Structures are given as structure tokens and as C-alpha cells.
Structure 1
Amino acid sequence: MAEPMLFDAIPQAPNLRSGLVNTLIAQIESGDLAPGQRLPTEQEIVAATGVSRTVVREALAALRARGLITTRQGLGAFVAKDPLPRTFSILPDDLESIDEVLRVLELRMGIEVEATGLAAERRSDAALEQMSSRLDALEAAVRAGEPGSEEDFGFHRAILAATRNANFTRLFDTFGSAMIPRQWTRLDRMTVPEREKYLARMQREHRAILAAIEARDVKAARRAMRSHLTKSYARFETLRDKAGRGD
């Protein structure tokens, strides 16, 4: 007996696989798809969502890799008996649409704003030197036309390290540079003046964070990090809107 269809057609997002994965994860987490329940067949999912069979297979493979579903030869796919993921990670493949980048930025706000306040309170001179050197490396990378993701990640990680709470850096290391989705910036398409303007704006925000941490001004440090991430969020919203208009 076929399982009932539990989802409508997914939005025609830039990455359909991610859209279907997110839809199925939401249904597993909400209990709409219960542990041990058989998933609809590939053809039924195609009919319900409007995506291709290839997209369905890629989405199911992603769910298997996360331990959320299992497959049985000749029987189909089933929700795992213990479907809740034991570890959490963000991989580059998870950031294939701007909406997903925005969700990561929301997560970063929740983590980094508080951490930056702790860094301002607890930082050492060595930690300040580490942050400053990371900013110098970031500036050199961007001037050279490189994305600078690793260097940007290094700066934000140095702030977390300054909290002297290893749980912050352990969490950030789980995500790696996927937390800094610079692939959307496309520095290679910028003219030299555009790149300089981008660099000046980004470094101005970063330097404000560093200055507040150096001054041990907890409130200013939190405010500077929130401002930086909020402005990043707004820039990605603008990119999404432009993409929607076909600009």
C-alpha cells in the first residue's frame, strides 16, 4: 500500500536537490514521516514535487549519508529508527542557494554576537595579534583577486578562540570555511575599483569589531559584530532579489 503524499511541489529554487532534502528533513523532524515509515517511491516523489528522478535520487542519497533514511533491497527507502542526526555540520554543498546562506548567517548571529562580547572581556594581547594578522592576510588575499574565505574564517575563528571557551572554536571547526560563503561574491568579476570598494567596506566592519575587542568594550563588540553580520545578511538578500529579477 502506497504511503500518502506528505509534501506539495517544492519551490523552484536554484538548487532543487537541497529544496527536496530540506522538505524531507522537516517532515522527519516533525514526525510527519515517522521512524520506520516507508518513504514514497521515487516516481511518487517525482509526481508530488515536480522534480526529476535524478534530483530525487540525489536527495535520497544525501539523506542516507546523514543517517536519516535507510534502504532495503526491493522494498524501498525507510525513515531510520533513530532519525535524529547525532552530529551537526554545514558543508559547502549545503550552501547552493542564497536562502541557505541566509539561514547560516542567522545561526552565526546567534553564536558570534555573544562570543564577540566574551572575546572583548577575556582577550589576551596574543589573541589581538592573531586577529590583526588574519585581517592583514584577508586584505592581501582580496587585493590579489582571491576569495579570501580561509582568511576571513581565520579572523572570525580567532575571535572565538579569544573567548577561552573551546566549545566555540570546536563548533566553528565543524563547519569550516563553509561558514564564509564567499563563492557568491565573485571577486573575479569585479573591476579593480569595485574590488577596492568591497575590501574597504568589509575591512571597515572588521576593524570596528577588532577595535571594540581591543578596548574591552563588551557592548560595542557585540554591536559591531551584529552590525557586520546584519549588513552581510542584507547584501545577500539584495543578491537574491537581483537573481529573482534576472538582473
Structure 2
Amino acid sequence: MTGNLQATAPLVDGATLSDQVTEVLRHNVVNGVWSVGDVLPSETALASDFDVSRTVIREAVSRLKAEGMLSSRQGRGAFVASDRPRQGFAIPERDMESQRKLEQILELRMGLEIEAAAIAAARATPEAREEIQRAAAAYDQSNKIGGPAVAAGVSADLGFHRAVCEATGNSYYLSLFNYLVASLRETMLAGRLQALKRGGESRDAIQEHYDIAASIAQGDAERARQRMRDHLQMSSGRLLAQLKTEDGLAE
């Protein structure tokens, strides 16, 4: 990580690379380093500046798009749309501590991503299909690294699902996904820590990602829809079971 990241905004201990880059970019916009209408440096330039992967930059930019602070146009790249986060639909942080509320949030995520998988199968470009395949492989690889990379594993998981939403070609799917997973990230981290205590993520979860990717690559919308439904039902069940083991959820 370069000095720019440390100097531009205060960081929270234990924050992921995506969290840190997001905070710096947000800080730069709010404090006028970049003004409304300014075009941000390219993904490649930002990745070099922060000494992180382009995937990390893409995730940070996507979060700020979901907040309404950044936007993008074909051929122009990302630019500053507003110097303040957009106010509107919100999930209170305390809701993540309630089992009933968490179940409802996971249900909302299912409704979004099941249809996104079907649309991606129908619309995805060859490049988007390849990105989904790469994201599935990255998730698989993240599960071979072990304990020190818990946050990286969650990022790889979310990176796969983000690639599916992006492949729809509908920016609203991506924006809503980014908002939901920003709320779910800490809960997913806690669940993954519990999974590691029992030997790591199951091979079932890894295979489910490959199955979704294959269905989208084949252009089979109905199969992609069913594979995503099966996966999210299973992953939601695994997450809730892991958090119950941790005894961290209220009714």
C-alpha cells in the first residue's frame, strides 16, 4: 500500500483493502480533492497508486457508485457525480444482529441475484462470461490459502457475485448488489471465521460457484436461475448456522 492511502484518510484497524481504498476515494470526493464532474484516474493508474489489484479498485468504485458519489459513461470512465452520499433506502446496522432481519435481508439478496443470473446467461458478453469464470476460480483459490486470508476469501466470493450482476448489463442490479453486500460484509466475515474453525469452506460451496458460471457460459438462463437459487439457499443456511454457532444473533 502506498503512502497516499495512509496520508489521505484515517483507516480502521482490520479493514480490507477494498474498505481502505473506498474510504480514501470517498474522502477525496467529500474534501474536494476531486470536484463534481472530475474524471478519476483509470483503474490501472489507481491500482498502481494504491499498490492493489484492479479488482480492489473496481469494488471500491462500485461501492461509491451505489452511494451516488461516482458515475460512469462509456468511453469516459468514472467521474464524480456528487460530493455527498445519496440518502434513501437503508439497512440499519443493528438489523444485522437480528436473526429475523438477517433472514429477510438474505431473502432480498436472493430475489435480486437469482434473476440476475438468468439475465446474465441471456445477455453476457464473451468477456463478461470469462470474467465470471475467472471469479469462480479466484474464489476456489481463496479457499486454499487458509486463515490469514479470511477477508480475501469474502472479497473473492463477493467478486464472483458482483461479476454476475455486472454481466446483466443493467447498472441498477449492480448498484443494489453493492449496497446489500456492503451491509452483509461484516456478517459474512464472522461466518467465514466460524467455517475456518471447522476446517474451511465446504467443497459444495466452491462447486456451486463453478456450476453457476458454467450455466451462464452455456447461455442457459433457466439453469443459471436454478443454480443461483440452490446456491443462495444453501449459502444462507450455512451462514445462519455458522452465526448461531458463534452465538452472535438475537431473535
TM-score (norm 1): 0.55
Question: Counterpart of 2:223?
Answer: 220
Alignment CA distance shift 1:194-1:132 (3 Å) = same
Is 1:120–1:216's contact at 8 Å kept on the other side of the alignment? Answer: yes
Question: Counterpart of 1:4?
Answer: none
Shift of 1:125: 1.3
Is 1:135–1:155's contact at 8 Å kept on the other side of the alignment? Answer: yes
Alignment CA distance shift 1:238-1:135 (3 Å) = same
Shift of 1:182: 1.8
Shift of 1:185: 2.1
| Structure 1, unaligned runs of 5 or more | 1-84
Question: Counterpart of 1:190?
Answer: 196
Question: 1:56-89 CA distances to partner (integer Å, 9 max, x unpaired)?
Answer: xxxxxxxxxxxxxxxxxxxxxxxxxxxxx95123
Is 2:101 the counterpart of 1:96?
A: no
Alignment CA distance shift 1:86-1:204 (3 Å) = same
Question: Counterpart of 1:149?
Answer: 154
Question: Counterpart of 1:204?
Answer: 207
Superposed counterparts of 1:172-191, under 5 Å: 172-180=177-185, 181-187=187-193, 190=196
Question: Counterpart of 1:20?
Answer: none
Give 1 or 2: higher helix fraction. Answer: 2
Shift of 1:91: 6.6
CA distance in 1, matches of 2:100, 2:125: 37
Shift of 1:241: 5.7
- Between the two proteins, the alignment pairs up a number of residues equal to 157
Which amino acid is the alignment partner of residue 153 of structure 1? L
Which amino acid is the alignment partner of residue 101 of structure 2? E
Question: Counterpart of 1:107?
Answer: 108
CA distance in 1, matches of 2:155, 2:93: 13
CA distance in 1, matches of 2:228, 2:176: 18
CA distance in 1, matches of 2:172, 2:89: 14
For the pair shown, which has the larger CA radius of gyration, 1 or 2?
Answer: 1
Aligned Cα RMSD in Å?
Answer: 2.7
Q: Secondary structure at the match of 1:216?
A: coil
Question: Counterpart of 1:162?
Answer: 167
Alignment CA distance shift 1:199-1:128 (3 Å) = farther
Q: Secondary structure at the match of 1:190?
A: helix
CA distance in 1, matches of 2:240, 2:184: 17
Shift of 1:189: 6.7
TM-score (norm 2): 0.55
| Structure 2, unaligned runs of 5 or more | 1-85
Is 2:195–2:242's contact at 8 Å kept on the other side of the alignment? Answer: no
Q: Percent identity?
A: 32
